[in-house]
Amino acid sequence: MTSHPIEERNPGEWQLTVRVLAMPADTNPTGDVFGGWLMSQVDIAGSILAVQVAQGRVATVAVHEFQFLKPVLVGDLVSCYTELERTGNTSVRVKVEVYAERERDPRTVEQVANASITYVAVDENARPRKLPALS
Ligand SMILES: CC(C)(COP(=O)(O)OP(=O)(O)OC[C@H]1O[C@@H](n2cnc3c(N)ncnc32)[C@H](O)[C@@H]1OP(=O)(O)O)[C@@H](O)C(=O)NCCC(=O)NCCS
């Protein structure tokens, strides 16, 4: 089993939230994996943690940072790790780090992106809702 650097660095703080294989359908016209596909995986991962914290529906309100550090290739196993960065009255800010386990060499795991995203807890009318008390 391949160990992921982030698990070694921050045990207990980060959680593996999304793991997905980059497929040929995820490429742009030149055959590289499309950056928008990776942004989508990151938004999904961040929203999963935000929904856990908000205990219900959230909406993405801002992407503060998004860096593509290395390319993602077809066949790579892409893992998104999330960490709660901060909470406000209605908002949840999440850090996401993305690692790719390379198909050509499964022993190689490289960080390919990082991001910081804010989600807002919303009610049934899609208006901001106070976060529940954190335990
Ligand atoms: C999310 C939404 C309901 C918030 O409504 P709003 O009237 O802007 O709400 P508020 O001004 O009361 O802000 C709510 C919280 O969001 C935070 N927030 C709003 N804009 C922000 C921004 N650009 N960056 C960081 N935080 C922001 C506020 O600080 C506040 O946090 P707090 O309550 O923890 O202090 C509204 O902006 C919306 O519907 N946006 C579209 C969401 C969406 O469709 N997302 C998917 C895009 S594909």
* Tens digit of each residue's pLDDT (9 = 90 or more) over 56-107: 999 999 999 999 999 999 999 999 999 999 999 999 999 999 999 998 888 8
Closest Cα to atom 47, ligand 1: which residue? 60
Has residue 127 got a pLDDT over 90? yes
The reported pLDDT for the residue numbered 5 is 52
Q: Cα(108) to centroid of ligand 1, in Å?
A: 38
DSSP reduced 3-state for 133: coil
* Pocket test residue of 61, 95, 122 for ligand 1, highest count of atoms within 8 A of CB: 61
The reported pLDDT for the residue numbered 4 is 52
| Domains and their CATH numbers in the chain | 5-121 (3.10.129.10)
Q: Give the C-alpha separation, 26 to 112, whole Å.
A: 16
Residues 6+ apart with CB under 8 A from 132: 54, 55
Cβ of 21 less than 6 Å from ligand 1: no
Has residue 11 got a pLDDT over 50? no
Task: Give pTM, 2 decimals.
Answer: 0.92
